Amino acid sequence: CYKLASQHNLSDNQMVYAIYTTATKAGGNNPNSTGTPDPYDQEETGVFEIGTKSILLDGAMLFNAAYFQNTTDGMLISSIVNAGSRNVNTDAEINGLEGNMVLFLSETTSIDVTLLMAESEITELSLINPVNINNATSRALLPSSCLNN
């Protein structure tokens, strides 16, 4: 895992920055009643962010904005199976824009605006179907002794 960051001061009251960070969450094994291994892979995430932080209008306004992009390989998703949970891996992308502005109208009055827009996409996710937990493709035939003749 690593972090790479850069910051540039445009003036005493405004700066821009860019950051790229990676992170890893360990994989493991799902518990089950048979005790057989049911592994899931680790999760690896890369996050890119670019933004600005500003004090404007002679200190009467604070303005911060950032664009972010998260890419996750093997994102861990948990689903309920019987009385426990089971982790599965999928890939995901999350992109968005966030910002806030505070405008001080007087010493006792301000207007605050906060914005968050996010778009996410999860790919190739296959959770357990609660109606068909064994992914059966046909019904098992019953022995003739079980049928009422």
Q: What is the pLDDT of residue 29?
A: 87
Please write the tens of the pLDDT for every residue from 69-85: 999 998 888 877 776 77
Between residues 88 and 131, which one has the greater pLDDT? 88
d(Cα 47, Cα 93) in Å, to the nearest integer? 10
Between residues 31 and 116, which one has the greater pLDDT? 116
Radius of gyration, alpha carbons of the chain: 25
Please write the tens of the pLDDT for every residue from 93-146: 999 999 999 999 999 999 999 999 999 988 767 665 656 666 666 666 666 666
Q: Are 119 and 101 in contact (CB under 8 A)?
A: no
Q: Put the strands of the sheet holding 3-11 in their side by side order.
A: 3-11, 14-25, 43-56, 61-81, 84-104, 110-123
d(Cα 142, Cα 138) in Å, to the nearest integer? 12
Please provide the average confidence, as pLDDT, over all residues in the chain: 87
Q: Are 111 and 63 in contact (CB under 8 A)?
A: no
Tell me the pTM: 0.73
Which amino acid is located at 16 in the chain? V
The CA-to-CA distance between both ends of the chain, in Å, stands at 67
Confidence bin at 30 (pLDDT 50/70/90):
confident
